[in-house]
Structure 1
Amino acid sequence: DYTSMKRSLYLPLLTSLVLLVMVDAAPAQTRDTIAARDALGRLGIPAARVTLAVKPASKPYYRVRVARGGHMLVEGSSSVALVHGATQYLQRQGRLSLSWEGRRVAPISTMPNDDTGPVESAFALRTYLNTCTFGYTTPWWNWDRWSSEIDWMAARGIDTPLAMEGQDYVWRALWRDQGLDDATISAGLSAAPFLPWQRMGNIAGYRAPLSASWIEKKHQLQRQILARMHALGMKPILPAFSGYVPKAFADRHPQARIYRMRAWEGFAPTYWLDPSDPLFATLAKRFTQIYTQTYGPGDYYLADAFNEMVPPIAEDGSDARSAQYGDSIANSAATRAAALPAAVRD
């Protein structure tokens, strides 16, 4: 009848109007939504087609609703959740192809009405990269390449990536503090492709020296990397002191408990400071202080001690002090509290 026909005509229209009102009533842009919108724009997704809203929640989540005409309302628990939600939805609809090799965005104006409902992550934190991935070809990435990678991380829901660039600037400052000159410091730093293994204590000074211009370039790059990660609400994992010291430092401190490590894969031996030695806490604290002054504080730190190496411990396990090593490294609560300003740590 006439009444039923009116209902069948008006219900789809009413549904579309409700969705459009929801889009129009979305909250004003915040720093989080602006960062997410910028990332989506760099990925080629038209800003005019997307409305974003951050809604804090107990678990990371996103929700995508699509109104007639392909307008997307994306809500999520963070900037990363917004980018992840929008890109995941478009990829599943066949409207977006996103990879390291490039991206392609198809028109989204013809998408039907839809509502994903809340899509929760099973994990509180989603990390990415490891120490070694900052070697190989990564040392030659410029800011454009890193910018693309960080957007790729957000699209994959990564919110706790490693951020290992620029630390040689801090190491140089630390060893200057300890009385070593620049020539000695540079001679002890391995060439760029091998720096991850230097940082893990496998090698030292391999294909040295590391130039001052390289250290400065990486210093500036890390500032850009961290600024972009922080803008997206990420909590990057930062480097910490794990105990390895230059041979020149070991020579200056003959009374310190410093081990000459067993050679790794035929490379020259490296030197590791025992956490029970008072110098360990001094260096750990100072490294974190300098890092914080240079790049700002962090929430998470990485100290990698025995990568494919034999720890300096008796075979019968009698050297029990090594069991307390995890409580002594630079990202322990006590050392971090001593190194960071009260306004930051509290």
Structure 2
Amino acid sequence: MKSSRLPSLLLIPLLAASSLLAASAITQREITAASEVIKRFTDSEGPRLRIGGIDSENGNPVYATKATEEGLTISGSSGVAICKGFYDYVKSQGAGISSWTGKRFELPILPELTGKETKVVSPVKYHYYFNVVTYGYTMPYWDWPRWEKEIDWMALHGIDMPLALVAHEAITARVFKKLGLSDKEISEYFVGPAHLPWMRMGNISGIDGPLPEEWHKDQVALQHKILERMRSLGMTPICPGFSGFVPPAIKRLYPDIKLVETHWAGSFKNWMLSPDQKLFTKIGKMFVMEWEKEFGPCSHYLVDSFNEMDVPFPPHGTPERYKLLADYGDKVYQSIKEGSPRAVWVMQGWMFGYQRNIWDPKSLEALVSKVPDDKMLLLDLAVDYNKNFWNNGTNWDFYKGFFNKDWIYSVIPNMGGKTGMTGVLDFYANGHLEALNSPNRGHLAGIGMAPEGFENNEVIYELMADAGWSDKPIDLDAWLKNYDICRYGDTDKALDDYWKIIRQSVYGSFTDHPRFNWQFRPGRIGKGSINTNPEFYQAIERFASCANDFRDSDLYVSDLTELTAAYLGGKIELLIQASEMAMQDDNMDQAKRYEQEIEALMSGMDRLLASHPIHRLDVWLNYARKHGSSQELKDYYEKNARRLVTIWGPPIDDYAAKIWSGLIRDYYLPRRKEYLKAKFDPSVKIDLPAWERDWVEKNRGVSPVSPFEDPVAAARELIARAAKVSPDIIKQPEGILIGTWNPETVGTEWKELSWSVSPSALKQAKALRFSYTKGTNKLEISHVRIEMDGNTVADIQQNGTTGIENINNVYRFRIPQDAQGNNSCRIIARVRSDGQADSRGNVELIPISQ
């Protein structure tokens, strides 16, 4: 690897710099905490550095840097601002980076010693981070060392408003117990740790419960450390409040209360206590008081009651609806206020873009109308979805600046912690400028990120963290070049080419749920959702072409293994489509050859990722097992961790879609082999859902694997091998192929077949076609229905057949504009074959363009 670094300055201890405090509001505690973050990042006492305080400007955080012969001086309005100032200086010198896969730091040389001060004022007061479900998909089993690293990452990236939900259930259990519920009634209501976010939002109950009592003690101790560190850096943590969800056993104590049974994703339920009942206010007040008794005062409390659920209010346009919503909002706020008069009610705004059929402007205006403007903060979570997926305009325009309430501009770059690549880099660099300059900006208070999971697509988070502190356009080409220098120590033309080309593919397009077809239950014949266009492969080949120059960079090697896995994943997807088509044509010898190559590439991908610092199943499971004080509890936590990253519930199967070493060799590949048993021998009967449940509930640990001695050489060899797999091996159907039928799946009696499909493909289609390809018997179809998130959105009663002659074999539909399928999307058909059921064919979506 080439190096352009010059000799660095000598290390000397950090100065406490109390003399630099001046009249600013920053405390010595924050300066000390910031200096400790810098020490941990630099693995030293720090460079020649003086740090101190500076006033914020109009309430917005500020930092200033100045280089002189005496060293570098950093002044900040908070501990976070100081850390951000130091980190930005390091990056300005190309001297290092802090990331989840590792860090790089070389002591920076000082620029020209002009003594000129560089001052940066954030355009907003807050910089938000986390999503409620991040506490499921990424963080449920973190220990303090991992949390400390994350808080350091947050401080260096200028994050000062994190969601802090650890120990939510411990406080909830105390409140329920004070009300008179038994330990058994409480523990049986709670779900397993990785699923707690959805219980908190009223979506689920019963999964992997009861929750062990030891969990609460562990989480309380952990949250004390988390909040202490966040506060010491000047962060404003958002803590949980009471959202109204209670165990049904509460009716034993209050038989006259009205509980509403909530439903989610077609299969799950919880129980909601309406805010119009006095018990809601009582519990809300008790929760806040119990929280502050344990953890001290909190200024912001998160309360969400309608996550992806219907609103139990009268129809749009009726005065009663808006009155009830206004009263509802008032009751929720009052329940917080009674526990903490100074507190602000924080609410997630996912539903504002996702469910506009429910949340029209008048409904939201009514909900917030009785809450003081300075006592509410709305999280506009998913601007990237508004702009790049739903294409339904921005929420700040639709809701007219959020009716004078403070709000946070935010994005959701990831669903479920999926490791697939996606995201429009140009948007993440400069999309926030539209909000900053909008006439409907209103009380824009912050910019943030709310991924459902992270430790993936790291460039997006680095970019967004920089964007949140800037009101000027970012030159993305220059930014990416500096990113390479900071991350790898240098750059070259191959890396420049990589970024130019990849921005014509996965980093120039937005995919709601990026998954390969092999990450779904086998039998899905169509393509996955990752944008594996020709530029995708070309870009990764360019990245790998400079491997010998950068093999000494740990971060380059990690990125190479990750990108190679993505490359192989796309080629495996092609092979699976070709194999399924060969089996459909009864060409089993050809299918077996494809399957041999699939196994070779999947095994190579898995072994390569064994060298990756975090994309490994053993890392995930080890965090879970460390929480158990006994073998039984260790096994319990592991089972829960396994469930979330595979079957989830079901029915939200394969939602998390991790491309991890261990998960590939122990789950995805063996599941496919199980599926192939029946394909290659029709006398074999298999039950894939049962196989999946057994994997979650009965298996423990990860099978052994030996990482490649030279992962760089292995990556290049695997890319060269996979490059030979061409899209030409697939016979392209006229429509979008989503599935097949064959003698193993149909019979002479009526039965239902089901095929998963992406919501985006469904919304771009106008009909479903059954196309016979081979066999002596026709297929009869009597009924087709389409389900999104468990709700039927199309139901077509039509008798049709496909065989030598096609009669009514096209089923037309229209998906309602407001229909959503974030968690699951299925097409279900009632079919049978005549004669001996010797019938084969394809099921295709017909695009609107045809």
What is residue 322 of structure 1 aligned with on the other side? Answer: 325
Residue 137 of structure 2 aligns to a residue whose secondary structure is coil
C-alpha distance in 1, partners of 2:241/2:272? 14
Could you tell me whether the CA contact under 8 Å between 1:68 and 1:111 is conserved in 2? no
Is the counterpart of residue 81 in structure 1 residue 81 in structure 2?
yes
Residue 265 of structure 2 aligns to a residue whose secondary structure is coil
C-alpha distance in 2, partners of 1:202/1:116? 52
Could you tell me whether the CA contact under 8 Å between 2:93 and 2:108 is conserved in 1? no
C-alpha distance in 2, partners of 1:24/1:295? 30
Could you tell me whether the CA contact under 8 Å between 1:55 and 1:75 is conserved in 2? yes
What is residue 197 of structure 2 aligned with on the other side? Answer: 196
Equivalent positions of 1:164-175 (< 5 A) are: 164-175=165-176
Equivalent positions of 1:83-98 (< 5 A) are: 83-98=83-98
Q: Residue 108 of structure 1: CA displacement?
A: 2.3
Residue 64 of structure 2 aligns to a residue whose secondary structure is strand
Residue 63 of structure 1 aligns to a residue whose secondary structure is strand
Which amino acid is 1:326 matched to? G
Could you tell me whether the CA contact under 8 Å between 1:250 and 1:271 is conserved in 2? no
Could you tell me whether the CA contact under 8 Å between 1:60 and 1:77 is conserved in 2? yes
What is residue 47 of structure 1 aligned with on the other side? Answer: 46
Is the counterpart of residue 260 in structure 1 residue 261 in structure 2?
yes
Could you tell me whether the CA contact under 8 Å between 2:202 and 2:305 is conserved in 1? yes
What is residue 105 of structure 1 aligned with on the other side? Answer: 105
What is residue 30 of structure 1 aligned with on the other side? Answer: 28
CA 1:217–1:84: 2 relative to 1, 3 Å: same
Could you tell me whether the CA contact under 8 Å between 2:96 and 2:104 is conserved in 1? yes
Instruction: Indicate the larger mover: 28-37 or 119-128.
Output: 28-37
C-alpha distance in 1, partners of 2:76/2:228? 21
Equivalent positions of 1:194-233 (< 5 A) are: 194-233=195-234
Residue 202 of structure 2 aligns to a residue whose secondary structure is coil
Q: Residue 49 of structure 1: CA displacement?
A: 1.5
Structure 1 alignment gaps of length 5 or more: 1-22
C-alpha distance in 2, partners of 1:62/1:27? 13
C-alpha distance in 2, partners of 1:188/1:327? 28
Q: Residue 303 of structure 1: CA displacement?
A: 0.4
Could you tell me whether the CA contact under 8 Å between 2:33 and 2:232 is conserved in 1? yes
Could you tell me whether the CA contact under 8 Å between 2:75 and 2:82 is conserved in 1? yes
Equivalent positions of 1:1-346 (< 5 A) are: 26-27=19-20, 30-44=28-42, 46-58=45-57, 59-68=60-69, 71-109=71-109, 111-113=111-113, 115-261=116-262, 263-315=263-315, 317=318, 318-319=320-321, 320-329=323-332, 332=333, 334-340=334-340
C-alpha distance in 2, partners of 1:60/1:157? 9
Q: Residue 25 of structure 1: CA displacement?
A: 9.6
Residue 39 of structure 1 aligns to a residue whose secondary structure is helix
Which amino acid is 2:100 matched to? W
Instruction: Indicate the larger mover: 106-115 or 117-126.
Output: 106-115
Higher CA-based Rg = 2
Residue 131 of structure 1 aligns to a residue whose secondary structure is coil
What is residue 529 of structure 2 aligned with on the other side? Answer: none
Could you tell me whether the CA contact under 8 Å between 1:26 and 1:51 is conserved in 2? no
Q: Residue 206 of structure 1: CA displacement?
A: 1.7
Q: Residue 243 of structure 1: CA displacement?
A: 1.0
C-alpha distance in 1, partners of 2:326/2:207? 31
Could you tell me whether the CA contact under 8 Å between 1:162 and 1:236 is conserved in 2? yes
Q: Residue 282 of structure 1: CA displacement?
A: 0.5
Instruction: Indicate the larger mover: 102-111 or 171-180.
Output: 102-111
Could you tell me whether the CA contact under 8 Å between 2:80 and 2:235 is conserved in 1? yes
In the TM superposition, what whole-angstrom CA distance separates every residue of 1:228-256 from its partner, at most 9, and x where no partner exists? 00111111000001111111113532311
Q: Residue 291 of structure 1: CA displacement?
A: 0.6
Which amino acid is 2:328 matched to? Y
* TM-score (normalizing by structure 1): 0.85
Could you tell me whether the CA contact under 8 Å between 2:259 and 2:272 is conserved in 1? yes
Instruction: Indicate the larger mover: 82-91 or 26-35.
Output: 26-35
What is residue 3 of structure 1 aligned with on the other side? Answer: none
Residue 124 of structure 2 aligns to a residue whose secondary structure is coil
CA 1:292–1:25: 2 relative to 1, 3 Å: closer
What is residue 20 of structure 1 aligned with on the other side? Answer: none
Which amino acid is 2:222 matched to? L
Could you tell me whether the CA contact under 8 Å between 1:288 and 1:340 is conserved in 2? yes
Instruction: Indicate the larger mover: 29-38 or 82-91.
Output: 29-38
Instruction: Indicate the larger mover: 242-251 or 80-89.
Output: 242-251
C-alpha distance in 2, partners of 1:185/1:201? 15
In the TM superposition, what whole-angstrom CA distance separates every residue of 1:212-242 from its partner, at most 9, and x where no partner exists? 1112111111110001001111110000011
C-alpha distance in 1, partners of 2:251/2:265? 22
In the TM superposition, what whole-angstrom CA distance separates every residue of 1:51-98 from its partner, at most 9, and x where no partner exists? 1011222231111111237x2100111111000000011112101221
C-alpha distance in 2, partners of 1:236/1:208? 29
Which amino acid is 1:322 matched to? L
Residue 301 of structure 1 aligns to a residue whose secondary structure is strand
Instruction: Indicate the larger mover: 32-41 or 312-321.
Output: 312-321
In the TM superposition, what whole-angstrom CA distance separates every residue of 1:158-196 from its partner, at most 9, and x where no partner exists? 111100011111011011011111111111001011100
Instruction: Indicate the larger mover: 27-36 or 114-123.
Output: 27-36
C-alpha distance in 2, partners of 1:27/1:321? 54
Could you tell me whether the CA contact under 8 Å between 1:162 and 1:238 is conserved in 2? yes
C-alpha distance in 1, partners of 2:138/2:251? 32
Residue 97 of structure 1 aligns to a residue whose secondary structure is strand
Could you tell me whether the CA contact under 8 Å between 1:74 and 1:82 is conserved in 2? yes
Q: Name the structure where helix makes up a greater proportion of residues.
A: 1
C-alpha distance in 2, partners of 1:144/1:324? 44
Residue 51 of structure 2 aligns to a residue whose secondary structure is strand
Which amino acid is 1:270 matched to? N
Residue 126 of structure 1 aligns to a residue whose secondary structure is strand
Q: Residue 24 of structure 1: CA displacement?
A: 8.6
Q: Residue 27 of structure 1: CA displacement?
A: 2.7
C-alpha distance in 1, partners of 2:251/2:199? 16
**Count of residue pairs the alignment pairs up:** 315
Which amino acid is 1:323 matched to? A
Percent identity for Structure 1 against Structure 2? 33
Structure 2 alignment gaps of length 5 or more: 1-15, 22-26, 343-850
Could you tell me whether the CA contact under 8 Å between 2:202 and 2:269 is conserved in 1? no
Q: Which has the higher contact order (CA 8 A, sep 6+)?
A: 1
What is residue 10 of structure 1 aligned with on the other side? Answer: none
C-alpha distance in 2, partners of 1:300/1:328? 17
C-alpha distance in 2, partners of 1:140/1:269? 24
Which amino acid is 2:85 matched to? G
Could you tell me whether the CA contact under 8 Å between 1:163 and 1:238 is conserved in 2? yes
C-alpha distance in 2, partners of 1:139/1:146? 11
Q: Residue 111 of structure 1: CA displacement?
A: 4.3
Could you tell me whether the CA contact under 8 Å between 2:176 and 2:186 is conserved in 1? yes
CA 1:52–1:110: 2 relative to 1, 3 Å: closer
CA 1:46–1:91: 2 relative to 1, 3 Å: farther
* TM-score (normalizing by structure 2): 0.36
Residue 140 of structure 1 aligns to a residue whose secondary structure is coil
Q: Residue 26 of structure 1: CA displacement?
A: 4.8
